[in-house]
Structure formats: C-alpha cells, structure tokens
Structure 1
Amino acid sequence: MTAFAVGQLRDVQINDGIVDYLRRIDATLEPFEGHFVIHGGAREVLEGNPVDDLIVIAFPTKASAQAWYASQAYQALIPLRLQGAAGDVYLIDGVGSEHRATDILHGAGGA
C-alpha cells in the first residue's frame, strides 16, 4: 500500500542550506521509488488559515518510506533543511481506492 512522507514546513527561508537540500533530495528518493506528489505550490484556501508549506512524497510501501528517511543519504540532508525551515515531518499510510470514510469506524468500536 502506498505510504507518504509529509512535511508541514513553516518559516521557510531560501538560503544556501535549503538550496543545497533541494538540489540533492531527488537523488535520495530514487533508490526508494519516492516521488513528489505535492511540493508547496499555489493553494485555494476553502477553510481555515493554513500557514505551512505542504510537501507530500509518495512511496510504494511504508517500508520504503521508512528506509528512505533512515538512509544515510537523506539523514545527511536534514541539517540543511533545518537551516531554513521549521516544521513537522511524518510518515503516513495511504488508503486504496476502495476505502470509504466509515472504514475508520471499524477499528474504533463503531459501526
């Protein structure tokens, strides 16, 4: 099942560290079949007041996402990202096309 690495970054400053990070991250994704799904970009706000830049990277499996994040190549880039951005980064499982909203109730004692 597809898994995603999600970054919700704030206070992004384009500096030498961020530029170096951006130039090098694609090479860290390739061995793990990762690719960007969302990388900042213009947004149409429908509700709320989002202030973070959203980055979503897809991987074929949770194991490949975990291996990418733990890889020596990506770990070497984290200090570069931190030179120009604060935020939250996490991995999350995707759902298949057959998923329905009520499916989450089955594991929570619901219908």
Structure 2
Amino acid sequence: MTAYAVAHLHTTSDHEDVLNYIERIQDTMDPYGGRFLVHGTPVEVIEGEWPGALVMIAFPDLGAAHAWYDSPAYREILPLRTDHVTGDIVFADGVPHGYDARKTAARMRHQS
C-alpha cells in the first residue's frame, strides 16, 4: 500500500545548504521508489491557517519510507535542511483501493 511522507515546513530558506539539500534529495529517494507529489508549490488555505510550505512524497510502502529516511545517504544531507528550516514530518499509510469512508464511520459507531 502506498505510504506518504508529509512535511509541513514552518519556515523556508534559500540558504546554500538548503539548495544543496534540494539538489541532492532525489538521488536519496530513487533507491526506495520515492517520488514527489507536492514540492514547492503554493498551498490554498481553505480552513484554518497554514504558515509555510507543504511537501508530500509517495513511497511504495511504509517500510520503504522508513528505509529512505534512515538511509546513510539521506542522513548525510538531512542537516542541510534541519539546520535552516523548521517543520513537522509525518509518515502515513494510504488507504487501499476501494476504500469507503462510510465503513470507517460504521466501525467507529460500533466501537463507541
């Protein structure tokens, strides 16, 4: 099942280290099947607030996402971003093909 790495970057920077990070990140993702879904595009805030930027990366599964994040290649470049950009990063499994939110609601009602 596809898994996603989602970053809400509260601050952004065009510091040389960050640009170096951006230039190098794709090579760290390729061995794990990672691909950008959202990267550097403006978000349209419909509800609430969203200061900063959104990044979404798809991986074949959660194991691949963790393997990428823990890989020596990514760990080597990670400080280039974290030293200059603050944010929150989460991993999440996607839903299976044919997912129906009504079934989730029914399960939630049954559990309460």
With normalisation by structure 2, the TM-score equals 0.88
5+ long unaligned stretches in structure 2: none
- 8 Å CA contact retained: 1:14, 1:84: no
Instruction: Tell whether 2:55 aligns with 1:55.
Output: yes
Distance 1:107 1:78 in 2: 39
Distance 2:71 2:109 in 1: 34
Distance 1:27 1:103 in 2: 39
Instruction: Tell whether 2:16 aligns with 1:12.
Output: no
CA drift of 1:82 comes to: 1.1
After superposition, the C-alpha distances for 1:13-50 in whole angstroms (9 at most, x for unaligned) are 11011011001000001000100001131222222221
Paired-residue identity, %: 36
The list of structure 1 runs, each at least 4 consecutive aligned residues, that deviate by more than 4 angstroms after superposition, is none
The 3 A distance-change label for structure 1 pair 61 and 108 is: farther
- The CA RMSD over aligned residues, in Å, is 1.8
Instruction: Tell whether 2:102 aligns with 1:94.
Output: no
After superposition, the C-alpha distances for 1:47-92 in whole angstroms (9 at most, x for unaligned) are 2221131101000111111100110000111110012210111211
5+ long unaligned stretches in structure 1: none
- 8 Å CA contact retained: 2:43, 2:53: no
Distance 2:39 2:60 in 1: 18
User: In structure 2, what residue type is equivalent to 1:18?
Assistant: V
With normalisation by structure 1, the TM-score equals 0.89
